[in-house]
């Protein structure tokens, strides 16, 4: 093979590589963490305050996967008190797997969350709740299998 053919093959390989890279970049999904990211960032002080309040409790929220679902147990200070809030199962690599569930604990501070609606994935579980006008916030990692 002479030098002209080698040069032609080099240009063809380079062109094919560039075409492949352009194709891959067009097909890549670039998801933001949240749709209203900038608006939520402005209210981030509430998350900091809620995290500090949750850390001041005697024990953290406990998440445990069982055969019947995911058992969420609030700290003892929340037992027999009206608690409202939200549990967000956030999957960082696939927005379609995200689920938000209303926090409705029983009198003992526990809630069983069905895993029928959750797909197997590694989740960051973001729990925010309110009790007596005080906001609390906690995050934990959970692998649903």
| pLDDT tens for the 145 residues of the chain, in order | 899 999 999 999 999 999 999 999 999 877 766 777 788 888 899 999 999 999 999 999 999 999 889 999 999 999 999 999 999 999 988 889 999 999 999 999 999 999 998 999 999 999 999 999 999 999 999 999 8
Contact 125, 90 (CB under 8 A): yes
Q: What pTM was computed for the model? A: 0.78
> Under 8 Å CB-to-CB from 93, ≥6 apart: which residues?
121
According to the model, what pLDDT value does residue 5 have?
94
Q: Which residues pair with 111 in a beta bridge?
A: 72
According to the model, what pLDDT value does residue 32 have?
66
According to the model, what pLDDT value does residue 131 have?
94
> Under 8 Å CB-to-CB from 103, ≥6 apart: which residues?
72, 83, 84, 85, 86, 87, 111, 127, 129
What distances in angstroms separate CA 22 from CA 15, 17, 31, 82, 98, one per listed residue?
11, 9, 19, 54, 29
According to the model, what pLDDT value does residue 40 have?
80
Q: How many CA atoms lie within 13 A of 46 on its CB side?
A: 11
């Amino acid at each position: 093979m002479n030098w002209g053919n080698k040069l032609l093959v080099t240009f063809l390989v380079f062109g094919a590589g560039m075409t492949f890279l352009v194709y891959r970049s067009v097909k890549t999904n670039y998801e933001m963490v949240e749709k209203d990211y900038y608006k939520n960032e402005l209210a981030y002080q509430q998350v900091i305050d809620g995290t500090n309040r949750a850390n001041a409790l005697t024990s953290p929220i406990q998440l445990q996967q069982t055969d019947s679902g995911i058992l969420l147990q609030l700290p003892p200070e929340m037992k027999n008190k009206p608690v409202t809030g939200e549990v967000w199962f956030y999957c960082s690599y696939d927005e379609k797997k995200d689920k938000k569930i209303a926090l409705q604990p029983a009198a003992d501070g526990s809630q069983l969350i069905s895993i029928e609606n959750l797909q197997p994935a590694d989740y960051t579980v973001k729990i925010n709740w309110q009790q007596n006008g005080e906001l609390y916030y906690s995050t934990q990692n959970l692998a649903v299998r």
